[in-house]
Amino acid sequence: MPPIESRDGEIHLHVKAVPGASRTRCLGQFGDRIRIAVAAPPEKGKANKTLVAFLADALNLRKQDVAVIAGLTSPLKTVSIRDATPDRVRTALGL
């Protein structure tokens, strides 16, 4: 599975989240996932909220356009992104 897929007019980004980091940033591709350090603990959805905010900001989108759709309690997540292209996601994350 590629880390960035286009499905039904949305982008599905397969992420390996690394919570508890000093700052939120993209660490690059990690196998079939994009590894993202998240500056929030993995409790009560804080890491998911920080991940969504980071991706929305990086892509200049509204937070409503970005959602974790799989892996809510796992470090292996799938994020749905509306109004973006695979190339835009790659560029925004520095891939």
DSSP string covering 32-95, please?
TEEEEEESS-SSTTHHHHHHHHHHHHHHT--GGGEEEEE-TTSSEEEEEEES--HHHHHHHHT-
Beta partners for residue 77, in sequence order: 15
CATH number, domain of 87, equals 3.30.1200.10
Give the per-residue pLDDT at 7: 85
Say how far apart CA 16 and CA 41 lie, in whole Å: 15
pTM value surpassing 0.75: yes
User: Domain range holding 32?
Assistant: 4-93
Backbone angles phi, psi at 50, to 5 degrees: -65, -40
The number of distinct structural domains making up the chain is 1
Tell me: the pLDDT tens digits for 21-39? 999 999 999 899 999 999 9
